[in-house]
Amino acid sequence: MTITGTLSAEDLAVDRELADIARDFRFLLDLTPIDLVGTRETFDATGRTPKFEYRPLEDDPGVAVRRLDDMPVDAVHDPILASLLLGKHRELRLQLEMLDCRGSEDFLPLSLELYGAVTPSLLAEAENILATVAKPEPDNGPWLDAETFVQAAQAELDRYRSLAPDIECHIEVREGSTGVMVSNGDLLVAPTVRIAVSRLDALLHHEIGTHILTYANGANQPLHVLATGLAGHDETQEGLAVLAEYLVGGLTPGRLRELAARVVAVHEMANGAAFPDVHDRIVAAGISRHQAFTITMRVFRSGGLTKDAVYLRGLHELVTHLVAGGDLDLLWLGKMPLTAAPLVAELHRRGALTDPLLRPRYLDEPAAQARLASLHKVSSLAALIGATP
């Protein structure tokens, strides 16, 4: 048996096959509707539940499912790696099932299985934010269009690439995408996007300093699923990304209220509320009609996607972790949930994983260091607004 570090070549072959399958489809992009400008205009005019259209799937999910079925994941020798890879195997199967039934009534139960439901405590925290964090005045700009934002994002990526020239990540304006998203390590920017200059720094650290950085670090590991993400990584990834916004001073009242409104929208949708009712519910909570449409669309896409609850939940879990004396060091090794960190730590201790290729550059900024050190003073997520180091 050939050994690489402390992991066998046979075990690493299963890891690579899982990572290859994960890279073969763009999960969130394939679940997101197209022609959102026209759909929003129709909704504004009629108030009726929109009918979303989706891009055709490039590949048949059934083909990838058969690859999963043929994979000897049950034969992985290393017990820690076996646990991690079995979890990823189950997650990929669930995602492929969701792609196969997007737009149907079977989609929502699968989404709840993948991302979980909104707990009473998370809902209470979201409602507290909406009730106590003051609604900001409208942002009057200036604004960046898609091409200008791409230039800023490319400059940010190049800062990291100067330290690691082999980063295989790209930034592009992508027709059919919505907003700004990272997919398989690439930053996709919708051609219609407008980014407030006041949000630019926070967004760059969210997308590039967190999502792309952990992808690049994971791709540099012997264990390739750390690039595509261990099962359940979304919650910690989005929590880290929002925490980055806070640490650089960019977590605004409007942004925190948006994340809270997403939780409320997921809860209402999962409990059977219709699109117009969810939209009106968060408008009544002080969210603009334009933003409320985007939030509601994200929640109802493909039949009910509950992912948007993980941003606030992930932030809460990370703040709790830090207040209890935890740190972030291990989380830069790749994309993982906080719950898997002890297993990843053991692999790292054994020499099966390398140190991170990159660290977020904001961690070297005195203001971010001061905010990180003072998190123990924060009594709730709502208290992050206005908190001083």
Distance CA 257, CA 352 (A): 41
Asked if pLDDT for residue 283 goes beyond 60, the answer is: yes
Q: Is the pLDDT assigned to residue 53 strictly greater than 70?
A: yes
Asked if residue 388 has pLDDT above 70, the reply is no
**pLDDT tier at 3, thresholds 50, 70, 90:** very low
Backbone angles phi, psi at 127, to 5 degrees: -65, -35
| pLDDT value at residue 6 | 79
Q: Are 236 and 108 in contact (CB under 8 A)?
A: no
Its sign, for the CA torsion 122, 234, 254, 293, is: negative
d(CA 95, CA 91): 6
DSSP strands (E only) in 34-122: none
* Mean per-residue pLDDT of the chain: 94
CA distances from 25 to 88, 191, 234, 290, 381 (A): 15, 21, 16, 30, 34
Taking the model in full, what pTM does it have? 0.95
Condensed to tens digits (0 to 9), the pLDDT of residues 340-367 reads 999 999 999 999 999 999 999 999 999 9
- Is the pLDDT assigned to residue 73 strictly greater than 60? yes
pLDDT at site 178? 79
**Per-residue confidence band for 2, with pLDDT thresholds at 50, 70 and 90:** very low
Contact 50, 36 (CB under 8 A): no
Do you know the residue count of the chain?
Answer: 389
Mean pLDDT of 252-281: 98
Band of pLDDT at residue 1, cut at 50, 70 and 90 = very low
Q: What is the pLDDT of residue 5?
A: 61
Strands (E), the chain: 3-4, 7-8, 143-144, 171-173, 180-183, 186-189, 195-196
Decide if pLDDT at 141 tops 90.
Answer: no
Does residue 181 sit in helix, strand or coil?
Answer: strand
